[in-house]
């Protein structure tokens, strides 16, 4: 059973994507069914890992170093579950724009295979232990994502897609060079084995540096963030939701594994300081740029630049010499919480923004005035997501920030605490404008808006509720994330 | 001695072609040097006894990529785009130079690792392939090959997504006009039978000798494109069901075999008794899909015709 639980989250979206190319008529139904099926499998896998600990399979029966191992620990299984949850909500939300209604269209054909391949790439990135296989997974993920950005077919979105592709491929090349160097040095691509044999010599340091640089570009870490906002805001809303909520998390999880599982000893004080500082600059700079935007989707996209910045605080708070300290577990777990909370809230926000766009006809901010009366459910979903992004209680974002703050003060690195608080305040500023307009008393006559069915508004609400629920019921996920956690499994600073 | 002289000469040519491709005036000259560079790289792989890699580099790195780039230049000039004036990008040049130095220094400092040749040789008898490269690609690391073949599908879907909405359902690429007694028409009749033989041979030989689906598929794609340029065949419409089936047949068969293995307890596992025939079947189906995908990539998105 373990074999199927690990293999099918990769195999099913691939199979569905290929069938969607051949039989475009059933693509939308097939994609939705795949989303639900993989969600069921992910729940099952999480239960299995919670019960029996980390599970792994050797593909084709070939153990590493000859073959490739898929491995699900607390980190991988929980990212898999959050991804499946988001896809299960985003794919139905895409029906309205892309489902086949008689005659096949260009965008209606292209969307479903690309979304499913992106799904498969994410799942492979969370499960695979093999550096080259991870490269291939990132390629699949990236090229599908780039094509999804271009799918609107406008000159500006194609420009954004091209720029995204150049950055992302540069990231891929650097990652591949690093993987090749690691293989030449230690004759294995398997992360578990590399962790055992890799010494802190400098070819390995060069390999990890190249991979980290490549992954940082793919995660849009400041100063490599410029490609993200036009790409994420230019894509159609369901694609934006996948791109902003999920895609950068895949490269981040690989980076987390590299630095915490493969070469923890290489994390020098300078390195953790640089990565943490770039993250902190991203939080502030991304938020400031978000404040200056006049279009809702651009605000949400710049917010992603800022929110991804928090993830890099894991390096100074849990990496390097501090890795064995009691606060490290809290910080390491907190960034996963933050990643989940951001993923759920951001997907909900982009889906809600897509519905606003459809109702109003554009996404300039003034169009939001008084929208809460016409679309109460979608506006409520947007509001809940905003709570999670600002890190207010009782959301998952709050749990994450609370854990990070506790670690920052426990370790005496209060400066990161300042960043956390400032980032939350700035998020409140850039989200206040759309919220204030939405819930203002006067506004456009609901009769002038295109109607949006309540069923569609419920999809972002479900995701936003999940982001809040993550904060209310946080001890279960917290304990689950510790399963297979690298380093000292100290109790840490549980909430 | 001759070997050393040849290698030094090859290295010099490689560097010169690479440099020329970067600094050449005009896109066309740059692409031509890039193709030459690819040929020299392929020769380099040959000298390193990596014949499979050499074949792939020649077919895909130099050949197909070159054609794609030339096609892109053609599109640009048809669209009336002006070629940007070449200007030196000093920071980028410094970054690339620094990266090269880093890689070179890391290469010299590498510990002496033997690679995985011994492991591959030990597992080869039950892998179903006699060529170790094929055993790695289709068995030991099958998921990489499966995903790479699907990456091609993703790219084609992405290219098609760049079509104009009103062109959906049309044929990809521009119509070909050929003088019936011209050189192109002549070559279009002469070369395809030869190319067909080479392509099929590369796939067939792939399980025992260097070759395989990617190399063979590229040659077959070239054969088909040549016939299309000579006006002997026309590209099917992008909505053609047979075409769609051909595009995904290889990956679907590969994946189906993998899932069947998973039901038996080993995802992508090939039982030694049937591994040989299964690998051949997967290679044949993959060749069909790779050839059609590559040919369509060269043709580009569907175009509405007057």
DSSP A192-257: HHHHHH--S-HHHHHHHHHHHHHHHHHTT-TTS-TTHHHHHHHS-HHHHHHHHHTHHHHHHHHHHH
Number of domains in chain B: 2
| CB of A8 less than 8 A from some CB of B | yes
Residue B182 and residue B87 share a domain = no
Q: B213 with B291: CB under 8 angstroms?
A: no
Residue B45 and residue B19 share a domain = yes
Nearest CB partner across the interface for A184, out of B110, B147, B258: B110
How far apart CA A383 and CA A375 sit, in angstroms, is 12
pLDDT of residue B178: 74
The interface residues of chain A toward chain B in range 275-334, judged by CB-CB distance below 8 A, are none
Two tokens, residue B78: 């048809």
Angle (CA) A250 A253 A258, round 5°: 130
Nearest CB partner across the interface for A18, out of B239, B251, B261: B251
Measured between beta carbons, which residues in chain B are less than 8 angstroms from residue A117? 150, 153-154
pLDDT of residue B306: 53
B265–A146: do the CB atoms touch at under 8 Å? no
User: A258 to chain B, minimum CA–CA distance in Å?
Assistant: 19
pLDDT of residue A490: 41
pTM of the model: 0.96
Q: B140 with B123: CB under 8 angstroms?
A: yes
Measured between beta carbons, which residues in chain B are less than 8 angstroms from residue A114? 154, 157-158, 161
Please tell me which residue, B178 or B259, carries the higher pLDDT value: B259
Residue B155 and residue B39 share a domain = no
B113–A185: do the CB atoms touch at under 8 Å? yes
Domain range for B224 is 117-306
Residue B154 and residue B224 share a domain = yes
Angle (CA) B199 B204 B207, round 5°: 125
Identify the residue among B139, B157, B241, B256 best suited for mutation to test binding to A, counting A beta carbons within 10 A and taking the highest. B157
A15–B102: do the CB atoms touch at under 8 Å? no
Q: Give tens-digit pLDDT for B223-254.
A: 999 888 888 888 899 999 999 999 999 999 99
Nearest CB partner across the interface for A147, out of B114, B139, B154: B154
Measured between beta carbons, which residues in chain B are less than 8 angstroms from residue A59? 142-143, 266-269
User: A69 to chain B, minimum CA–CA distance in Å?
Assistant: 10
| CB of A67 less than 8 A from some CB of B | yes
Residue B138 and residue B286 share a domain = yes
Return the bridge partners of A69, or none.
A58
A124–B107: do the CB atoms touch at under 8 Å? no
Nearest CB partner across the interface for A203, out of B109, B115, B259: B109
Residue B264 and residue B127 share a domain = yes
Complex ipTM value: 0.95
How would you class B244 by CB atoms within 10 Å of its CB: exposed for 0-12, middle for 13-18, buried for 19 or more?
A: buried
Nearest CB partner across the interface for A147, out of B99, B157, B168: B157
Residue B243 and residue B126 share a domain = yes
pLDDT of residue A488: 47
| CB of A62 less than 8 A from some CB of B | yes
Domain ranges of chain A: 267-495
Residue B293 and residue B146 share a domain = yes
pLDDT of residue A487: 66
pLDDT of residue B304: 84
Residue B272 and residue B160 share a domain = yes
How far apart CA A3 and CA B18 sit, in angstroms, is 46
Nearest CB partner across the interface for B161, out of A62, A106, A203: A106
Which residue from B minimizes the CA distance to A148? B158
The interface residues of chain A toward chain B in range 179-218, judged by CB-CB distance below 8 A, are 181, 184-188, 201-203, 206-207
Mean pLDDT of B37-52: 94
| CB of A117 less than 8 A from some CB of B | yes
Q: B157 with A147: CB under 8 angstroms?
A: yes
Measured between beta carbons, which residues in chain A are less than 8 angstroms from residue B239? 104
Name the domain boundary from B113, B130, B151.
Answer: B113
Q: Give tens-digit pLDDT for B169-197.
A: 899 987 777 777 788 888 888 888 999 99
Name the domain boundary from B87, B113, B139.
Answer: B113
Q: Give tens-digit pLDDT for A253-265.
A: 999 999 999 998 8
Residue B169 and residue B106 share a domain = no
**Contacts of A418 by beta carbon, 8 Å cutoff, 6+ apart:** none
B151–A146: do the CB atoms touch at under 8 Å? no
B116–A65: do the CB atoms touch at under 8 Å? yes
B248–A61: do the CB atoms touch at under 8 Å? no
pLDDT of residue A241: 97
Which residue from A minimizes the CA distance to B256? A15
Angle (CA) A477 A480 A482, round 5°: 120
Residue B131 and residue B105 share a domain = no
B255–A18: do the CB atoms touch at under 8 Å? yes
Measured between beta carbons, which residues in chain A are less than 8 angstroms from residue B92? none
B111–A136: do the CB atoms touch at under 8 Å? no
pLDDT of residue A491: 40
The interface residues of chain A toward chain B in range 152-181, judged by CB-CB distance below 8 A, are 153, 158, 177, 181
Please tell me which residue, B89 or A349, carries the higher pLDDT value: A349
N-to-C CA span, chain B:
62
Q: Give tens-digit pLDDT for A43-71.
A: 999 999 999 999 999 999 999 899 999 99
Give the alpha-carbon dihedral of B77, B82, B88, B91, to 10 degrees. Answer: -90
Residue B133 and residue B108 share a domain = no
How far apart CA A243 and CA A343 sit, in angstroms, is 10
Q: B206 with B213: CB under 8 angstroms?
A: yes
Name the domain boundary from B81, B113, B145.
Answer: B113
Given a cut of 50, the residues of chain A with pLDDT beneath it are 488-495
Measured between beta carbons, which residues in chain B are less than 8 angstroms from residue A250? none
How far apart CA A38 and CA A84 sit, in angstroms, is 6
**DSSP class of residue B139?**
I
B106–A181: do the CB atoms touch at under 8 Å? yes
Of the segments A128-132, B71-75, B115-119, B180-184, which one has the largest average pLDDT value? A128-132
How far apart CA A395 and CA A472 sit, in angstroms, is 7
The fraction of chain A above a pLDDT of 70, given in percent, is: 98
């Amino acid at each position: 059973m373990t074999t199927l639980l690990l293999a099918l989250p990769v195999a099913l979206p691939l199979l569905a994507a290929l069938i969607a190319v051949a039989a475009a008529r059933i693509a939308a139904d097939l994609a939705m069914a795949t989303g639900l099926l993989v969600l069921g499998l992910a729940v099952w896998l999480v239960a299995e890992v919670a019960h029996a600990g980390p599970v792994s399979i050797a593909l084709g029966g070939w153990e590493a170093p000859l073959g490739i191992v898929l491995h699900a620990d607390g980190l991988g299984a929980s990212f898999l579950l959050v991804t499946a949850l988001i896809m299960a909500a985003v794919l139905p939300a895409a029906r309205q724009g892309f489902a086949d209604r008689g005659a096949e269209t260009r965008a209606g054909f292209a969307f479903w295979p690309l979304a499913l391949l992106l799904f498969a790439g994410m799942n492979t990135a969370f499960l695979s232990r093999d550096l080259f296989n991870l490269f291939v997974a990132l390629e699949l993920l990236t090229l599908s994502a780039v094509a999804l950005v271009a799918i609107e077919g406008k000159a500006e979105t194609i420009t954004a897609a091209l720029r995204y592709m150049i950055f992302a491929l540069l990231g891929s090349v650097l990652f591949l060079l690093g993987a090749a160097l690691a293989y030449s040095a230690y004759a294995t691509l398997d992360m578990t084995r590399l962790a055992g044999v890799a010494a802190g010599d400098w070819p390995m340091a060069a390999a990890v540096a190249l991979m980290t640089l490549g992954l940082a570009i793919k995660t849009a870490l400041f100063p490599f963030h410029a490609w993200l906002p036009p790409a994420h805001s230019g894509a159609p809303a369901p694609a934006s939701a996948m791109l902003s909520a999920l895609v950068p998390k895949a490269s981040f999880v690989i980076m987390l594994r590299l630095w915490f599982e493969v070469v923890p000893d290489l994390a020098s004080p300078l390195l953790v300081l640089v990565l943490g500082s770039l993250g902190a600059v991203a939080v502030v700079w991304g938020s400031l740029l978000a404040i200056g935007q006049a279009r809702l989707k651009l605000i949400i996209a710049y917010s992603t630049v800022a929110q991804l910045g928090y993830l890099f605080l894991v390096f100074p708070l849990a990496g390097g010499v501090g890795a064995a300290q009691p606060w490290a577990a809290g910080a390491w777990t907190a960034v996963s919480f933050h990643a989940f909370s951001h993923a759920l809230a951001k997907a909900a926000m982009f889906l809600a923004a897509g519905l606003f766009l459809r109702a109003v006809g554009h996404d300039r901010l003034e169009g939001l005035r008084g929208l809460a009366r016409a679309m109460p459910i979608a506006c409520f979903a947007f509001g809940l997501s905003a709570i999670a992004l600002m890190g207010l209680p009782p959301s998952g974002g709050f749990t994450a920030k609370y854990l990070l703050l506790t670690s920052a003060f426990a370790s005496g690195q209060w400066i990161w605490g300042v960043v956390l608080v400032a980032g939350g305040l700035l998020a409140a500023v850039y989200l206040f404008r759309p919220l204030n307009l939405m819930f203002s008393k006067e506004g456009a006559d609901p009769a002038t808006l295109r109607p949006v069915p309540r069923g569609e508004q419920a999809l972002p609400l479900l995701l936003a509720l999940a982001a809040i629920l993550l904060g209310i019921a946080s001890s279960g996920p917290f304990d689950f994330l510790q399963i297979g956690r690298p380093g000292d499994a100290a109790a840490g600073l549980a909430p | 001695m001759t070997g050393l002289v040849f290698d030094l000469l090859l290295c010099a040519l490689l560097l010169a072609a690479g440099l020329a491709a970067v600094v050449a005036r005009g896109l066309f000259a740059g692409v031509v040097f890039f193709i030459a560079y690819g040929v020299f790289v392929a020769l380099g792989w040959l000298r390193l006894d990596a014949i499979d890699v050499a074949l792939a580099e020649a077919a895909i790195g130099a050949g197909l990529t070159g054609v794609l780039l030339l096609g892109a230049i053609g599109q640009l000039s048809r669209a009336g785009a002006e070629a940007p004036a070449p200007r030196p990008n000093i920071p980028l040049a410094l970054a690339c130079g620094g990266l090269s130095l880093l890689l070179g220094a890391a290469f010299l400092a590498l510990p002496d690792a033997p690679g995985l040749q011994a492991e591959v040789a030990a597992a080869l008898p039950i892998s179903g392939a006699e060529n170790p490269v094929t055993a790695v690609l289709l068995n030991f690391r099958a998921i990489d090959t499966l995903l790479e073949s699907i990456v091609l599908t993703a790219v084609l879907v992405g290219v098609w997504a760049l079509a104009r909405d009103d062109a959906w359902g049309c044929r990809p690429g521009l119509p070909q006009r050929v003088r019936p007694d011209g050189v192109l028409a002549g070559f279009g009749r002469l070369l395809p039978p030869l190319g067909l033989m080479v392509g099929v041979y590369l796939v067939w030989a792939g399980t025992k000798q260097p070759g395989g689906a990617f190399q063979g598929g590229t040659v077959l794609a070239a054969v088909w494109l040549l016939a299309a340029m000579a006006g002997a065949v026309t590209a099917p419409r992008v909505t053609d069901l047979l075409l769609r089936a051909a595009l995904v047949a290889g990956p679907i068969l590969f994946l189906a075999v993998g899932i069947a293995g998973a039901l038996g307890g080993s995802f992508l596992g090939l039982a030694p008794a049937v591994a040989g025939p299964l690998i051949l079947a997967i290679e044949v189906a993959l060749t069909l899909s790779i050839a059609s995908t590559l040919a369509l990539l060269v043709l580009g998105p569907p175009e509405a015709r007057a």
